[in-house]
Amino acid sequence: MAWTKKILRVDLTKGTCKSEPLNMEWAQQYLGQRGLATKYFVEEVDPKVDPLSPANKMIMATGPLTGTPASTGGRYSVITKGPLTGAIACSNSGGYFGAELKFAGWDMVVFEGKSAKPVYLSIEDDKVELRDAAHLWGKTTWQTEEIIKKSHQDPQTRVCSIGRAGENGVLFSCIVNDLHRAAGRSGVGAVMGSKNLKAVAVRGTSGTATIKDPKAFMAATVAAKKVLADNAVTGQGLPKYGTQVLMNVINEMGALPTRNAKEVQFEGARNISGEAMHEKRPTDGKANLVTNNACFGCTIACGRISQVDKNHWSVVNNPKYWGASGGLEYEAAWALGAAAGVDDLDALTVANMMCNEDGMDPITFGATIGAAMELYTLGALTKEQIGIEAPFNSAQAVVEMTRMTAEGRGFGKELGLGSKRLTAKYGHPDLSMSVKGQEFPAYDPRGIQGMGLTYATSNRGACHLRSYTVASEVLGIPVKTDPLVTDGKAGLVIAFQDATAVFDSAGICIFTSFAWSLADVQPQLAAACEGDWSMEKLALVGERIWNMERQFNNAAGFTAKDDDLPKRMKTEAAKTGPAKGLVSGIDKMLPEYYKARGWTTGGVPEKETLARLGL
């Protein structure tokens, strides 16, 4: 089975919590987590809904492997309509919250309506209730988790919550669980805040005794874990250096968007890299990196736990940042660092801690800082408007802008809108490095062409986690392709998009895909889940999920015009590195992609495609 076959429906307007049976017909078609929750969402919510209105819904969903002994089986996703983009939002998080929700006996929680006052949801197995959260409103995610655990008198309680950013409607606010893991992108935290829902606290003791064939499942998970352990990337590289090892790789190959993507190589990249995190600081003789860290059930353990020098200017009078905490991961280091031209590792570590503390997506936020710095450089924004000097390369500006945005004061309110709205307001809309309103991450589409198509077609706005062609174009996983050419990228992106949809719907981490293919996931699903879970079916499920998300976005008003990259990517060639002289070939790749997808030239799935997918 693997599913608990129960969903929890929470009507925040009425204050009710009801158990419903899981729609198993849909589970057979959409698997779980991302796919299954999106199916529920698109069936129940008008695509035109205002994301921050009570009519929008928000679903926290586990996958069939969440909470099981499958490696990395601790994931959950938050599905809603995103306020940053107006598109489908689906943000995935690790840590321990997802597994605990499963242990409590729930496949997913559907939140609808809006509470009249701040509340949090308490789940202790079948005992579920909405509780007053007046004492939590205005608190950070760190404070919220601590207060709830103390009041529940159970340190095993797992908490996800919004910080002040989510309360204040920051359009890229996250939902943070376990202090530093986050459902990070598209502003799912703002949706939670709009519903006056501060947190979800869950404690589960029922376990996951729902595996179809336990003996076969254990054999399958053991075999799959051996694949991860024997693979040099998942067995050695990621545990030791984390995602941050990419900083020097991507910089060397000239694909590191720098200073709002004006450049593609950052002279300070080495100072904020995974290698630098291992080195002892000259100031206090300690390394930034304290240890690595694993989410529930993970046998990779790529997470970074870091500590800054207590005498660093950013924390010298702020002891709450003196302890070890989560970060830096590659995306945050790039966004808060290279995108702003800042190479102060400790300052970036602190800014990232603040993002965790108050629940902000550091990718969108860092990219927004980069855009603001370019506006400042152009004179479109002044010191008087921002409240501080904000030139590129200023670590002080990054830290202060993080603080003002987290606290919702001054110019921070404008930064909290994201770069699309900010640059439009100040007369330079082309300076937002975003697609569908969401900022792209740490790979420049001029130097890694497949990522341009990935960003342009991502259903949740620009994102690397919908089709990580970097694996192939840079790292040679599963095969090496040339990052500078457009040929073959449509097929590559589609293959990654569909496979990723399956990983995201299973309850496991996409980082397993550095070693696993679907052929490694399939035996685990087949042993855990009732029904047919052949390779052929999984491929179809992945494609079905992608097209379902696309249909929602089309119905929400998106068109082919929105499958586009910022003007800079198409008109300003890379100035250095292997991509020197190149712009993105998105205009060539996109028609090929539509055709290969079985979509019209306008980006709409053909009737035959929908019929084949059962949509």
Partner 1 sequence: MRVTFKLFASLQDYLPVEAKRDNALSLDLAEGTTIMAVIERFGLPLKSCKLALVDGVFVPPAERATRVLADGETLAIWPPVAGG
Interacting residues with partner 1 (CB under 8 A): 231-234, 236-238, 240-246, 248-249, 252-254, 270, 274-275, 279, 329-331, 464-465, 468, 470-471, 474-477, 480, 482-483, 510-511, 514, 577-578
Phi, psi of 123 (to 5 degrees): -125, 120
Give the number of other CB atoms < 10 A from CB of residue 380. 16
The label of the residue with tokens 């321990």 reads 96
Helix (H, G, I), strand (E, B) or coil at 367: helix
Helices (H), 158-281: 164-167, 188-194, 214-230, 232, 238-241, 246-252, 274-278
Nearest CB to partner 1, comparing residues 271 and 396? 271
The label of the residue with tokens 């598109």 reads 87
Give the nearest distance from C-beta 254 to partner 1 in angstroms. 5
- Give buried/exposed letters for 598-615 (b at 16+ CB in 10 A, else e): bbeeebbbeeebbeebee
Give the nearest distance from C-beta 12 to partner 1 in angstroms. 33
Give the nearest distance from C-beta 577 to partner 1 in angstroms. 5
Nearest CB to partner 1, comparing residues 161 and 244? 244
Rounded to 10°, the helix 535-556/489-506 angle is: 100
Rounded to 10°, the helix 449-457/586-597 angle is: 60
The label of the residue with tokens 């701040």 reads 118
Nearest CB to partner 1, comparing residues 74 and 237? 237
Helices (H), 477-517: 489-506
Give the nearest distance from C-beta 384 to partner 1 in angstroms. 39
Give the nearest distance from C-beta 364 to partner 1 in angstroms. 16
d(CA 502, CA 29): 11
Give the nearest distance from C-beta 2 to partner 1 in angstroms. 26
300 class by beta-carbon count within 10 Å (0-12 exposed, 13-18 middle, 19+ buried): buried
Nearest CB to partner 1, comparing residues 349 and 553? 349
Nearest CB to partner 1, comparing residues 253 and 417? 253
Nearest CB to partner 1, comparing residues 416 and 450? 450
Give the nearest distance from C-beta 354 to partner 1 in angstroms. 22
Nearest CB to partner 1, comparing residues 476 and 614? 476
Give the nearest distance from C-beta 246 to partner 1 in angstroms. 3
Nearest CB to partner 1, comparing residues 232 and 316? 232
Give the nearest distance from C-beta 145 to partner 1 in angstroms. 25
d(CA 487, CA 593): 11
Nearest CB to partner 1, comparing residues 238 and 373? 238
Give the nearest distance from C-beta 241 to partner 1 in angstroms. 5
Give the nearest distance from C-beta 477 to partner 1 in angstroms. 7
d(CA 423, CA 437): 11
Q: Please name the residues in contact with 125: beta carbons below 8 A apart, sequence gap of 6 or more.
A: 104, 105, 203, 204, 205, 206
d(CA 583, CA 490): 17
The string of DSSP letters for 518-557 reads: HHHHHHHHHHHSSS---HHHHHHHHHHHHHHHHHHHHHHT
Nearest CB to partner 1, comparing residues 236 and 601? 236
d(CA 420, CA 43): 29
Nearest CB to partner 1, comparing residues 139 and 466? 466
d(CA 264, CA 469): 18
Q: Please name the residues in contact with 255: beta carbons below 8 A apart, sequence gap of 6 or more.
A: 264, 443, 444, 446, 447, 448, 451, 474, 483, 577, 579
Strands 58-62 and 108-112: antiparallel
Nearest CB to partner 1, comparing residues 208 and 231? 231
